[in-house]
Amino acid sequence: MITLYTFGPLFGLPDASPFVMKAEMLLKLAGLQYETSTKGFLRAPKGKLPYIDDNGTIIADSTLIRMHLEQKHGIDFDRELAAREKGVAWAAEKMLEDHLYWVLVYWRWMKDENFAKGPANFFKRAPALIRPLVIWKVRGNVRRNLHAHGIGRHNEAEMTAMSDRAFEALSLLLGDNHYLMGSRACGADATAFAFIAGSLCPLFDSPAHAKARTLPNLTAYRDRMMSEFYPGFERGHS
Ligand SMILES: N[C@@H](CCC(=O)N[C@@H](CS)C(=O)NCC(=O)O)C(=O)O
């Protein structure tokens, strides 16, 4: 049995983290049996979620999880794609994970109103007396990570110009397709779904979230994927 370590459903999403949603989607696309546990964060080998325990083999990082599923379980997520499409799908996935992600982190963590509605919930279990200190420290770490990545060196207008372009690229790539690359799901659908669902989360407000809401094919895709892969999941619509 595979155990996927998660944060758990939050913000009206299957998980607070897009990378956890991606990993869960990969497991669903692979058709493998799995269970989830929210008890793994303190033992996360790389200090982040997701990771999986596949019968004693621990794999941390959603991309390494994908590679593990491909190698150990013989899953070819991109079997329906032509060679060029495989390249495009991989590049689109990494645009979301290594570029857009950081803009979304900025709006979720650095804007007080979004932080209060969202990430502040992670600290509820910290003792009330030291909670402000813990929050101050963790938000400071996030700010440093944004700076180290580079996105945190830009002003909000510059960041927004970049996230707008990423959403437009994603919307153009999706077009009228049912799935990201056509009529059959591929590996990048796991990432596309995770990031589109996270971006459309009605809880958060920012120019990036507002941009995502202007692209109807992204909303329709999120709705289709939710119905197909998370039937019955309760969430707030944007
Ligand atoms: N490259 C990793 C990224 C995972 C990641 O950034 N996870 C975040 C949540 S979105 C996390 O666990 N952060 C906790 C921390 O940094 O303390 C993957 O693809 O799995």
What is the model's pLDDT at position 235? 60
Indicate left, alpha or beta for 65 from its phi (over 0: left) and psi (-120 to 50: alpha). Answer: alpha
pLDDT over 90 percentage in the chain: 97
Give the whole-angstrom CA distance, residue 160 versus residue 141: 22
Element (H, E) at 85: helix 83-95
- pLDDT reading at 238 higher than 70: no
- Which residue out of 5, 19, 146 has the highest number of ligand 1 atoms within 8 Å of its CB and is therefore the one to mutate? 19
Ligand 1 mean position, distance from CA 183 (Å) = 30
Alpha carbon nearest to ligand 1 atom 11, residue: 48
Q: Which residues of 11-43 are buried (b: 16+ CB within 10 A; e: fewer)?
A: bbbbbbbbbbbbbbbbbbbbeeebebeeebeee
Predicted confidence band of residue 236 (pLDDT cuts 50, 70, 90): low
Ligand 1 mean position, distance from CA 50 (Å) = 7
Q: What is the DSSP string of 119-136?
A: GGGGGTTS-TTTHHHHHH
Ligand 1 mean position, distance from CA 205 (Å) = 22
For residue range 163-200, list pLDDT tens digits in order: 999 999 999 999 999 999 999 999 999 999 999 999 99
Global pTM value? 0.96
Q: What's the mean per-residue pLDDT of the chain? A: 96
User: Please, is 123 exposed, middle or buried when counting C-beta atoms within 10 Å of its C-beta (0-12, 13-18, 19+)?
Assistant: middle
For residue range 58-83, list pLDDT tens digits in order: 999 999 999 999 999 999 999 999 99
Ligand 1 mean position, distance from CA 62 (Å) = 9
Ligand 1 mean position, distance from CA 91 (Å) = 19
Predicted confidence band of residue 223 (pLDDT cuts 50, 70, 90): very high
Give the whole-angstrom CA distance, residue 82 versus residue 87: 9
**Atom of ligand 1 at shortest range from CA of 17:** 10
Q: What's phi and psi for 108, nearest 5 deg? A: -70, -40
Task: Using DSSP, state whether 112 is helix, strand or coil.
Answer: helix
Q: Which among 53, 46, 48, 47 is positioned nearest to 17, based on CA atoms?
A: 48
For residue range 100-139, list pLDDT tens digits in order: 999 999 999 999 999 999 999 999 999 999 999 999 999 9
Place of tokens 């999120």: 222
> Measuring from each residue's beta carbon to the nearest atom of ligand 1, which residues come in under 6 Å?
17, 19, 47-50, 61-63
Q: Which among 82, 80, 75 is positioned nearest to 185, based on CA atoms?
A: 80
